[in-house]
Structure 1
Amino acid sequence: MTSAVTVVVVSATQPSGRLEESVTGEGFELRRVNRVPDESVATAVVQALSDSTSEFIAVVESDGWMSPHAGDAIRQYLSANPSVDVLYADGAAVGRRGRTTSVARPDYSPERLRCQFYWGDLVIYRRSVFESLGGLDSTVPGAELYDLALRSTAVAHSIEHLALPVFTRPSAAIRPLNYQELESTRVALERHLAATGGGTVRSVGADGVHDTRRSVKGEPLISIVIPSRGIHSMVDGRTRCYLIDAAQSIMDLSTYRNFEIVVALDSVAEPAVVTELADIVGDQLRIVEWTRPFNFSEKVNAGVLHSRGEFVLLLNDDVRVLDEDWLESLLALAQLPGAGMSGGLLYYEDDTIQHAGHGYFEGDASHIGLDAQRTDPGPLEGYRVEREVSGVTAACAMMPRSVYLEVGGLSNLLPGNFNDVDLCMKVTWRGYPIYWTPHAELYHFESKTRDASVHAFEVDVAWGRWGFRMHDPRYWPYPHNRPPS
């Protein structure tokens, strides 16, 4: 039989009784604590648990209720997964007109957790973990549950996600964080960052989305590797060279300056383009002449092999940088222990999103956020937070040089398409996580400079290798609905 779960409910309002009615069945007990002004929630919870002997503990601060069959689902999950230390689940919300919608959450994402408390209202902790952390911390009033979640990541061996809607909250229960809660959240996040490798809290949001950044360590050389034909094209009635525009934006905007630009340049490149490129980039430019037939993968690999940086940044020539600290944002994530890759937020020229990470669903691969408006926050505010992802586009992807070489770089068997899907699959197959940041923003004028057609053999190669992994709910799951388009 599954050990009992004690649910402690902390409420400042008169209980409706709906939660009590919903917490039913063998293995659950409910204890309610009425919030008293000037009384520490942490103290009240300790008193509520004083004679409890259950193996698991949950503290809830919402006037919501358990969804039907939630108790059975939780008991079955804990029974089938006896090593779980922390369990959170999907949720549901009731709108003003009484319509209930599911709230799908990603699997455990440590970097996302420092940007938002996405675990939801009902988080179940193994008692030994809860007690080893000293329970709730009274020094962060209003942010005790978020702080507990952050601290638990240091001691919990298994943090699991139950992909079922377990807890329902009314829309009225969702409110902005007040001043005290915001200040407590800042303290909790600063302590968490200090304990997990460093970083800064730039802002805390009343909506629960916080701008926290990892710190860049040292000043390593970044090799920005750009494959290009190096020619002018007629675009919208005017002559334009995307390579020149990309290089100009890098040189004009980037606050991180220890980089080289390695251009794998076709032999057909216009001499005027080469001259202008040298004028813009100066002694930070390295040109690798490319004389073979088109093969994007082979061309990029040649550029990497001629580069010198500790980190390599694969970058298309049809991009334009929008953020001054884009390199710092990518580098800070690529420097995380064991990191494999980091990528940014790309827009089409019409200010719709082209890329907010790769998503793999039911045997298919696509870009997260594809065609969404630039201002769209995404499901669960996902386009606003740094997070783990299944992959990123090679149009803007930073990697430790050692990882790039270890996995063999881009596959020459994929000359034009899906080479980045293959690269990401190789990186995660080797156990290296991939990260995405919304703080490295670029325009991507996709496929403006090459033939964008997809060949059947490319599909056969990529899906033949990785079709069995083309549904990865680990970082961006869709357990209830198809991915947003």
Structure 2
Amino acid sequence: MTITAGTFCRGDGKGYLELILEGMEGHETCQYAAYAEIAGGVIIPCSLYWPDEVERTWSAAASRRVVLAFPLLDGTKLALRVVDHRHSDHVLFTYVVESLPSKVRSRLTYRLHAEQAVRIRDIDRRLRSANGHAEVTGIYADGKGGMVLRMSASFPYRADARYALHVYDESGRPLDARTVVLEDDAIPQVHDRNLTVRRLSLSVPLPGHPGTICLCVQSEDDPLDGAFTCLLPPMFSHIVNDCRNELRHASLDPGYDSWLRGRRVSLAELERQRDVASQWFDAPMISVVCVLFRTPERYLRELLRSVLCQSYERFELILVNVSGACDSVDTVLREIRDPRIRVIVADNRSIADNTNVGIREAHGDYLAFVDHDDVIEPDALYRYVSEIREHPQTDLLYCDEDKLTESGRYEWPVFKPAYNPDLLYSYNYITHMLMVSRVALDQVELSPADVAGAQDYDLALKCAEVARDIRNVPYMLYHWREHAGSTSMNADSKPYAVEAGRLALQRHFDRRSIPATVDSLEAMFRYRPRYRFDNPPKVSIVIPTKDHVDLLSTCLNALFERTAYADYEVIVTENNSEDPQTFAYYEELQREHDNVTVVRWPGKGFNYSAICNFGAKHASGDILLFLNNDTEVIDERWLASMAGFFTRPEVGVVGAKLLYRDGLVQHGGVWVSPGGCDYLNQRCGAGELGYMETLQHPFDCAAITGACQMIRRSVFDKIGGFDEKLDVVLNDVDLCLRSNAAGYLTVFDPDALLYHNEFSSRGHDEQDPAKAARAIDEQMRFYARWNKKLLADRGRYFNSNLDQYNGHFKIVY
């Protein structure tokens, strides 16, 4: 047999060379292999693609065409070789590729033989190779200035094959790459379930933009068994940008300014709102309180216009002027003719005292607070009163807000969830435009001078304690102006306010008799309550498991070594293991650890809910923690941090921050909507803030994953434990939703850090037809139960302006 070179062209990261094989007989395609050899003896396995492979099995033609795909490494010379795989030292064909000649030849091909170039270019995207496939699936920021590259590779299954990832630069030099294996599965082939495919999901950290790189997944015992993919700098940048867009949350959306301008109220709508509001017989009086201190004339005029043009007209504007003699303020105030405006001149004391002057002068049923240099939308009061009319028990309200730049551009929108106590305990996310009822105000003390700068936080916390109902008004109604002296631009402009906020939050816990110490975090105006028990409750850690001693031992060793919390027990719930090594390990565990008990679930098959319920029956703790055997504790504070939330009686379930082995976030809470649910902030860097800083601060969410799910024992018993009709899927989410429905909070705790090697124990259900069918049945049962409730709760955890089916908090366009 003879081999000659035909059409040659370059593509994106790969080159393509058509080969003509003469004298080939029978079914010989699978016996040939190809590789690229680089100076120094580096071998990169290449792929052969046979466009007419099936037809040739019955054809008598003596010649065949095959396309060889190889990496484009322009910093070195490649020797492309075709060999008989059975005798790899028998080279059948060699073709040398050098950068400049290959570029010239490729350009000539595209110019003179474009049709032939199109026929072979990207053939790897159209045909399957006999020896495997590799592709980059994402490149993500790690939150520390570096990147994390994710890729997948698949090969015909060989039981004894062991694969390793090698990374080369454009000169073929190996790069130091610490590979993380995220998944390594044997799965049925998509088009023929009788054939098995080896699929790997790999990750490699990169210090930054590395230039051209070649990623080669290669068998350790057969260098020709492997697959490669090659990224040129533009390709690398394109993938990085795609992944950045995938994770970019609403506050960073560059199209927000246009979004707002296209959705804010029109003048015609304002007139209709005035007509509607004029017919409300029970319309409340709204007192808008604003403290003026040497406000720039332009800002003050714009503030006044924004209030006076409200479509809801039953309001008074109370201006507490503590500026003293100030031309910019005095000039504007002398021009006021509107009887709805009252100016109160007062001595400048603390901002808390100044605000209290306005509160005492107010006549309204509700009081709203605006800053002297900000503006509100003309339908702001109308939207608030509409919410009050629909929910008459409301005592505290707030809206969505953004920032208004000096150039007149709107940016950094914050679309807020419904009342979220744990987020509020991290920072004052309510902020603007705070409105409270006279009913609530009459029950609380006004803010003292020592919380000046955080008086709005103090007032919100106090009113939240007595409020009958708290409502978010999901409209963008408040614009927080950015200028050199504003807190929105410069948190250091009010350094005293940091301690004031901490003090306000500490007093909130003290009033509620919750044992907590509030710490100020490094970030300005950010806090962390440290809950403490006089008598720490016992935590029962229930771990369902079947064989996989390697996973279980890793999980337990990390738990024993990295758990500072003292009073806990481990209930290993055995589920039909078969490996004798498993039972030997159980005996060793119980000999060496007096707080470990192994119990055997008497059922057959796999029913996660039943197994966990069985384990819980053998638990003696006041708090239950259901933990997967494929998790690994990272931070020793994890258990104490999670358990601490149960000092608050309203907390029912607590979940942890789970990471992939490469440091990206696997679980940051769970979003749940009709017909769908998934993890929040998935694939973000562990050090990233996340939307509304939800990756770094506790917040209340719809659900958390069962991989690390803590629940108060009394709540677990009250709601009947896990639903055993949900054998495998959504039982953890269902448990959270039933706890929520019973009036408890589900809290995500970012300070509880663990790795989670998801799918390590059981694999993917979709790979097995029977498991896939069962999963669909359970999903249907789950959504039939919860869809109506989920529709009613829309906006509770995810603002209604955000995509309810995306865990990265995207604006709905």
TM-score, scaled to structure 1: 0.91
SS of 1:102 mapped into structure 2: strand
Instruction: Please name the residue that 2:462 is paired with.
Output: 151
Structure 2, unmatched stretches of 5+, are 1-279, 324-346, 766-771, 809-813
Q: Does residue 20 in structure 1 map to residue 304 in structure 2?
A: yes
Aligned residue type for 1:314: F
CA contact (8 A) 1:216 1:331 kept: no
Larger radius of gyration: 2
Task: After TM superposition, list the pairs within 5 Å mapping 1:74-473 onto structure 2.
Answer: 74-94=384-404, 98-100=409-411, 102-172=413-483, 173=486, 174=488, 175-177=490-492, 178-196=494-512, 197-232=514-549, 241-268=550-577, 270-276=579-585, 279=588, 282-290=593-601, 292-453=604-765, 454=772, 455-471=775-791, 472-473=793-794
Counterparts of 2:289 and 2:702, CA distance in 1: 36
Deviates more, 1:362-371 or 1:255-264: 362-371
Q: Is the 8 A contact 1:334 1:398 kept in 2?
A: no
Query: 1:215 offset after TM fit, Å?
Result: 2.3
Aligned partners of 1:35 and 1:41 also within 8 Å: no
1:39 aligned onto 2:359 = no
> Helix, strand or coil for the counterpart of 1:439?
strand
Deviations 1:58-87 (A, max 9, x none): 222362211242232123223333322111
The structure 2 residue matched to 1:480, chosen from 801, 809, 812, is 801
> What letter matches 1:382 in structure 2?
T
Which segment is superposed worse, 17-26 or 58-67? 58-67
Q: 1:49 to 1:433 in 2, by over 3 A?
A: closer
C-alpha contact 1:5 1:28 (8 A) present in aligned 2: yes
Mapped to 1, the partners of 2:303 and 2:476 lie a distance apart of: 15
State the SS of the aligned residue for 1:384.
Answer: coil
Letter of the 1:21 counterpart: R
**Identity of counterpart residues, as a percentage?**
26
Q: Which amino acid aligns with 1:192?
A: H
Structure with bigger RCO (C-alpha 8 Å, 6+ apart): 1
Q: Distance in 2 between matches of 1:84 and 1:397?
A: 33
Rounded Cα–Cα distance in structure 2 between residues aligned with 1:52 and 1:320: 57
Shift of 1:287: 0.5
Distance 1:381 1:193 in 2: 22
* Distance (Å, rounded) in 1 between the aligned partners of 2:685 and 2:551: 24
User: Alpha carbons of 1:380 and 1:272: their partners in 2 closer, same or farther (altered >3 Å)?
Assistant: same
Aligned partners of 2:396 and 2:464 also within 8 Å: no
Partner Cα distance (1:164, 1:201) in 2: 32
Distance between the aligned counterparts of 2:440 and 2:614, measured in 1? 50
Whole-Å separation in 2 of the counterparts to 1:410 and 1:452: 21
Supply the distance in 2 between the matched residues of 1:206 and 1:386 (Cα, whole angstroms).
15
Question: Which shows bigger deviation, 118-127 or 75-84?
Answer: 75-84
Which of 317, 322, 325 aligns to 1:30? It is 317
SS for the counterpart of 1:85 is strand
Q: Are residues 332 and 473 of structure 1, via their aligned partners in 2, closer, same or farther at CA, if it must alter by over 3 Å?
A: farther
Q: Secondary structure at the match of 1:447?
A: coil
SS of 2:651 mapped into structure 1 = coil
> 1:220-248: CA deviations, max 9, x gaps?
2211000111325xxxxxxxx11111101
Retained in 2: the 8 A contact 1:108–1:474? no
SS in 2 for 1:340: strand
State whether residues 288 and 315 of structure 2, in contact with CA within 8 Å, keep that contact through their aligned partners in structure 1: yes
Distance change >3 Å, CA 443–CA 286, structure 1 → 2? same
Partner Cα distance (2:576, 2:802) in 1: 48
Counterpart of 1:52, as a letter, is A
Q: Is the 8 A contact 1:394 1:420 kept in 2?
A: yes
The structure-2 alpha-carbon separation of the partners of 1:278 and 1:374, relative to structure 1 and needing over 3 Å to count, comes to farther
Q: Does structure 2 conserve the Cα–Cα contact (< 8 Å) formed by 1:390 and 1:474?
A: no
C-alpha displacement at 1:192, in angstroms?
A: 1.4
Amino acid at match of 1:477: F
Which residue in 2 is equivalent to 1:235?
Answer: none
Aligned to 2:256: none
- Aligned residue identity for 1:63: D
* Structure 1 residue identity aligned to 2:788: F
Contact 2:664 2:686 in 1 (8 A): yes
Q: Which runs of 4+ in 1 moved over 6 A?
A: none
* Contact residue 216 and residue 328 of structure 1 kept, 8 A: no
Provide the secondary structure at the position in 2 that maps to 1:261.
strand
Check conservation: 1:107, 1:473, Cα contact below 8 A: no
Kept in 2: contact 1:247–1:277 (CA 8 A) = no
SS at match of 1:383: coil
* Rounded Cα–Cα distance in structure 1 between residues aligned with 2:663 and 2:379: 43
Distance 1:99 1:118 in 2: 19
One-letter amino acid matched to 2:731: N
- The one-letter code matched in structure 2 to 1:469 is K
Residue type matched to 1:257 in 2?
A
SS state at 1:350 partner = coil
Which moved further from structure 2: 173-182 or 338-347? Answer: 173-182
| 1:236 aligned residue | none
Number of residue equivalences: 477
Rounded to whole Å, the distance in 1 between the matches of 2:565 and 2:654 is: 16
Q: Distance in 2 between matches of 1:286 and 1:48?
A: 63
Contact 1:363–1:468 (8 Å) recurs in 2: no
Quote how far apart the aligned CAs of 1:50 are.
Answer: 5.0
Over 3 Å counting, the alpha-carbon distance change for 1:48 and 1:220 in structure 2 is closer
Q: Is the 8 A contact 2:625 2:709 kept in 1?
A: yes
1:62–1:169 CA contact under 8 A, matched in 2: no
Contact 2:291 2:321 in 1 (8 A): yes
Aligned partner of 1:72 in structure 2 is: 382
3-state SS of 1:106 partner: coil
Query: CA contact under 8 A between 1:137 and 1:147: conserved in structure 2?
Result: no
Aligned partners of 2:585 and 2:605: how far apart in 1?
25
Shift, 1:212, TM fit: 1.6
Residue 335 of structure 1: how far off its partner (Å): 4.1
Q: Distance in 2 between matches of 1:339 and 1:380?
A: 21
TM-fit CA distance, 1:434: 1.8
CA contact (8 A) 1:176 1:206 kept: no
Structure 1 unaligned runs (5+)? 233-240
Q: Is the 8 A contact 1:137 1:148 kept in 2?
A: no
Shift of 1:427: 1.8
* 2:594 match: secondary structure: helix
Determine helix, strand or coil for the equivalent of 1:23.
helix
More strand, by proportion: 2
